[in-house]
Structure 1
């Protein structure tokens, strides 16, 4: 009855029309056939003082726009913003949990300092309240002292979920002005860096893909939990409904080691042996080539038009005569190739890839490695190769192993073979940047001699990313704690943490517990995390419902977009925006750095200057200023500017895709590899061939090829693979202290008070374990305990413990809740190329307690 003739629920209707104490005086609602006639409603009494502010959900990386309802100063409801292209008025089960974050009774109420010099799990920090001025002065005095001693490199910033120019975007200038290589060390190496590096190695883009899901007809999904924790989750659920209801319906094949919600909802579920996804992808590629299913307009073809890809037989690359230039007109012509070799268009190295790797990678070969039947691999390859448009997606599943980058490259190669990259419809591409305005001042004008030429430049980062030890890794946060403990390359003095909790999230976090005992820790979390319990200074930030903050979208649909957080309420405690913390500390640093931050002033000033870029580039929704940005909550501008069509790349000219791009344009803007093409023989990896040979045993002359590299499993003799996926309620580890989130954390097997270890019944019974028993999980790192639940949908050799519980801090509902933390039994081993921590490559022993 609430929805008859309105299209909106009564609750939402009343909430919406109550904005700003408005009265409702002329609403007509009729119920035909009931005897209730359409009549004007009587004037209502004034509604409570309700306002709606625009914000961005922070429960996961999706960055969905939200409408926050505040009545008489208290937030009471959160809905998806109908004007935000990611949310489209919808929300996932986590969206409403923002109110729990805001009113969490365990939040830090203001800045504090430690009084107990001892640090450890069982040590009370002895925090006492201090003022913000005292907290900021303590930090700034310590940093000034480090700088005066020529040791500014011993200060490090660590961050997890950065959002935009007002937090993570401040790090670069801050580190450059202060003089530290460690501003900032991000958490990407403990998240999903493997897929980014695989794409950098093949198409030159160190980024996550954007996708045209609405128009694709086939998804080959390697380990991406599309309906659990893939980004952007809320939008993906919407796309799933669209893909599965359109005509033709999008066909979906999911490849995984467990029965996930995505697997259960797919057309085909393929169980694969952990860490062997790359072998299956190579076999799929083999079938696509031998059966002539590749996209000739992107990849190319044999000069004689015949298919020479035959199992076990090498092919020739075409010999291309030198182009001829007409001396009078300057016109360049290309003569026909000589012989019958393969003529590549937008790919590089296919003949070498086939001859040295792919010609023998048959489905039968892959079956021996993956345990996926050759008939299944062949059927999947034919479906994928004959359905256009199609895309192969992946994430942490196949890449969180020591062979992760090579596996990711093999999967991404399938997108090149079927012409998915930059396809006109249903393909994948990369996110465009936002045309922000500039800051009021330039940091380069405020650099003193130490910033320009100080000895700090001679020191590597504490995590050794981009050094000879990890030359291709952008971040190696999981190495920072162990490196400090060893004093290699040096000892940290002071570290500041934002949106990250490595004492809990890092693999083998026990090492971090020991490492941070002698580091001066500045913690900015609003909540009592494990890292916060080691802090010397607590400077709690606002929750996301209390702060101004911009957020350019993660890869979404390609066209540029940035949303804005508008405070729904004044800060309810004595907290501060993290960006303002950096600015206020910067103001207290001696020399011109302090002058720079006095000019920057505060976060709102930054946002106002950034929004000036919208004056010349108004959004599709009319946003052209800071005020309209705050009102609408989002700026975006369609369409995406590039696509590939029938062998050529075209660029948007304002009216259509009418500008044909030159090969030089394609290399500069789209395929940013050394060759300007998709590379089956990667120039990026070839530049590091000696390192790859040393660390992975791959011969240097083959290092650049997309290939099968066996994984190295940790575990000390364990016989079961151990995986720790994220669930829809995980919220990147921030929901552990929310009772509502805990209650529905593991919907498949239950678990209101715990997270169950999921095991196949046969696996349990073979060890004398019954459904519900308490069990011990042991690796070569440590042991943890958990309760088990039988799950017949998983592989028999794989046990599953969703990552969430095992906290020894984090608040009253999170602390001390079984099971033990999955990270405690995860060895700190990483993919040598991407640096991604190998969370899923461990093997363990399992026994009944």
Structure 2
């Protein structure tokens, strides 16, 4: 590790880093000319407006509670504003982490200060707009004309009413990315029900991290992301989660990393990934695997844990005489093993694990067998210990089985619902909304219910396990299977750029009526017929129940720090106002909801009977504090016994039925090494994956199906710490810091091993062409000796052709093309997660 770090930080690298600082300062200075802020003020110190200072406007400094929008973490922020004496309007001068928010704890990550750049982005949409050019394409000018909100709402509602009356409500789709709570994406369920479309809404989880949720559903019944007790764990095994780059909640993870690495005993960290990233560089050990082979490594670790007798007997169980019968290559009599909170361990051993030695895994993963064995012994002999994973291992055709193998390590170590282990997130104590949508359904709504499948075919025989399949929408529309859409509305998602085989979306959007709600220009807006610009997060009112954090319930509130500086509004208000214009009782329902603030006030009534730990007991207190939360987590497993919180302690011992109902809702109520969830669709799995019927339920090794034929280089596009919810490409400050390990001050590099480059006559800094079956893009090379020779890395975020002046300038001059234009639309048959990391490519010097 010393050699790696020294080679990464040469004199040349030092100069590059200095250049990055200069580029960031230059970008901030450029922004200052547009916003009236100095580089320091934009980051969080002081307004540069001399008149403001001389008139004493700092005496009017105010602070507002809000929530950062740079990633899914949902950190609470304190936004400071002052009154501009020249206009009388308030301006944002600085953003800090909220000390009263349990995620932020008064801190922010490097992205946190970027809110001012979002707010004062000169390329923002400034009012609703209608397209006047009927032709759509990358090179077509939409010919925008400004319209009023009433005109925009009336036109959209008129089209919806016409489709409903013609029996075509199912041809209306809503697609969304980051949903925050009941006041925005949470409106979709009732909206789709009342309008009569199964396509409200289609979420982006299938192009994000859906694989981990399905892997967990398969073995312990929870189709959700985990919460983690990082503070108390003594061993952290990270599989492709990007812990110090892009895992959630990012800001908090950097804080807890310091705690884990300085407490006694220090938390030992092993990172498994396909490239040298900041997490791997900061770990005690790294295991660099071939893409898609994480499951093989996890299976070998499970083999060692069992043969060495290191499993947690109080959670898993033991042989009837206490003698360990797990021996490499030998089967075991299942009747001799008495399980406690697991089911099917011996069957799994006999069918899969007995032959999965470290030597076997070394041949698949490229990781040394001794390193696999040492890691397994460390993990199995440390308590508490946990294994975490995310998109890395699951963005392959074998993704769910990879995830099941990794998650099985948590059962073997007894970390499920234990101190220092992992569990699931509780929801906030919200009251009901202003009205019940079921009371306002009309004949069209009831007639359309269940009549048509979703356009993405999620939940049908084609994708029986999948809850959403956004990447299938354009393909299915273009094929007319199961039908063609006529209208689509997009919220916080841009699949024309982010989805695999992105050009399919250009074809679809050129044929239908498109509504985009982004505050900013982008590829979807380029094809839109109407733009309804949402306010930025510093200008809008919005709730945000926490993503999985520490398990106990929590919800934060965005309070506008400034009035919208342009003619924009909250997305939730857009949905409500369109709903008021739908013919029939639907309009009556949305008149009852009225607006976002009214909805949130109703939800906050739940806090009156269940005040938060910080005293939040209603709407006004929620606005003042910015967050409601209630500790502790209600359940705990200790030495194989489950307990429930009684108000003073974990004093209520739970029955097996209670554990099944509240914690592990599998068929058996236990952690299943033989998954009843998968066996329920045995025919589907045997048809779509190379698995025999008798083995369907076991965590097992399946070869990933790589795309690209005989091409020899794996192509991986990870997120980096400066990926700011899809907007980094248009923020020079973020771009300058995008790749801290290789430079990239003014461009994004494809990382390549020196040996791989030499074989192709490529030198550091050369421009190259990356070719897959779907097409080619170009990029510049940076040599990275710490990466695998068979894998090239191109960080996700670049290649925009319609995002704003900085992103487009980079694309024309130095940035690479969009990798998703050459990423094939292939998905894991079980989870439906797009297999982004399974492609193979050729690279040649241009």
- For the criterion TM > 0.5, the same-fold answer is yes
CA distance in 2, matches of 1:659, 1:570: 50
The answer for the alignment partner of 2:175 in structure 1 is 158
CA contact (8 A) 2:229 2:550 kept: yes
CA contact (8 A) 2:57 2:82 kept: no
The answer for the alignment partner of 2:325 in structure 1 is 308
The answer for the alignment partner of 1:32 in structure 2 is none
CA distance in 2, matches of 1:603, 1:384: 48
**Aligned pair 1:534/2:522, yes or no?**
no
- Secondary structure, aligned partner of 1:201: helix
CA deviation profile, 1:565-602 (whole Å, cap 9, x unmatched): 00000000001110000000000000000000000000
The answer for the alignment partner of 1:39 in structure 2 is none
The answer for the alignment partner of 2:787 in structure 1 is 794
**Aligned pair 1:67/2:78, yes or no?**
yes
Residues 83-122 of structure 1 aligned to structure 2 (within 5 Å): 83-122=100-139
Q: CA deviation at 1:697?
A: 2.1
CA distance in 1, matches of 2:387, 2:72: 21
CA deviation profile, 1:758-801 (whole Å, cap 9, x unmatched): 10111111100000000000000110000110011100000000
More displaced 10-residue stretch of structure 1: 437-446 or 404-413: 437-446
Q: CA deviation at 1:812?
A: 0.4
Q: CA deviation at 1:717?
A: 2.2
Q: CA deviation at 1:674?
A: 0.8
CA deviation profile, 1:244-263 (whole Å, cap 9, x unmatched): 00010000000111100000
Alignment TM-score, normalising by the size of structure 2: 0.92
Greater CA radius of gyration, 1 or 2? Answer: 1
The answer for the alignment partner of 1:440 in structure 2 is 434
The answer for the alignment partner of 2:152 in structure 1 is 135
The answer for the alignment partner of 1:831 in structure 2 is 828
Change beyond 3 A, Cα 1:848–1:236: same
Provide structure 2 residue ranges, at least 5 long, that are not aligned to the other structure.
1-39, 48-54, 84-89
Residues 123-272 of structure 1 aligned to structure 2 (within 5 Å): 123-272=140-289
Q: CA deviation at 1:455?
A: 3.7
Q: CA deviation at 1:196?
A: 0.6
CA deviation profile, 1:464-500 (whole Å, cap 9, x unmatched): 1001111101110000011000000000000000000
CA contact (8 A) 1:682 1:705 kept: yes
- Secondary structure, aligned partner of 1:733: coil
Residues 289-438 of structure 1 aligned to structure 2 (within 5 Å): 289-318=306-335, 341-423=336-418, 425-438=419-432
- Secondary structure, aligned partner of 1:75: strand
Q: CA deviation at 1:705?
A: 1.0
CA contact (8 A) 1:180 1:457 kept: no
The answer for the alignment partner of 1:841 in structure 2 is 838
The answer for the alignment partner of 1:670 in structure 2 is 663
- Secondary structure, aligned partner of 1:786: strand
Q: CA deviation at 1:645?
A: 1.1
The answer for the alignment partner of 1:467 in structure 2 is 460
CA distance in 2, matches of 1:670, 1:317: 26
CA deviation profile, 1:134-185 (whole Å, cap 9, x unmatched): 0000000000000000100000000000000001110000000110000100
CA distance in 2, matches of 1:699, 1:471: 19
- Secondary structure, aligned partner of 1:158: strand
The answer for the alignment partner of 1:579 in structure 2 is 572
CA distance in 1, matches of 2:711, 2:518: 37
The answer for the alignment partner of 1:642 in structure 2 is 635
The root-mean-square deviation of aligned C-alpha atoms, in Å, is 1.4
- Secondary structure, aligned partner of 1:644: strand
CA distance in 1, matches of 2:369, 2:797: 37
More displaced 10-residue stretch of structure 1: 167-176 or 701-710: 701-710
CA distance in 1, matches of 2:276, 2:173: 41
From 50, 61, 83, the equivalent of 2:61 is 50
CA distance in 2, matches of 1:371, 1:47: 60
CA contact (8 A) 2:193 2:449 kept: no
**Aligned pair 1:689/2:686, yes or no?**
no
CA deviation profile, 1:513-543 (whole Å, cap 9, x unmatched): 1121111000000111100100000000010
From 283, 296, 299, the equivalent of 1:282 is 299
Q: CA deviation at 1:753?
A: 2.0
**Aligned pair 1:493/2:509, yes or no?**
no
CA distance in 2, matches of 1:221, 1:94: 23
- Secondary structure, aligned partner of 1:814: helix
CA contact (8 A) 2:690 2:702 kept: no
Question: Which structure has greater helix proportion?
Answer: 2
Q: CA deviation at 1:49?
A: 1.4
The answer for the alignment partner of 1:480 in structure 2 is 473
Alignment TM-score, normalising by the size of structure 1: 0.92
CA distance in 1, matches of 2:82, 2:231: 38
CA contact (8 A) 1:194 1:405 kept: yes
Change beyond 3 A, Cα 1:17–1:119: closer
The answer for the alignment partner of 2:613 in structure 1 is 620
CA distance in 1, matches of 2:683, 2:57: 75
CA distance in 2, matches of 1:16, 1:479: 46
Provide structure 1 residue ranges, at least 5 long, that are not aligned to the other structure.
1-10, 19-43, 319-340
CA contact (8 A) 1:151 1:456 kept: no
Q: CA deviation at 1:828?
A: 0.7
Count of matched residue pairs: 788
CA distance in 2, matches of 1:406, 1:824: 28
CA contact (8 A) 2:46 2:93 kept: no
CA distance in 1, matches of 2:725, 2:267: 29
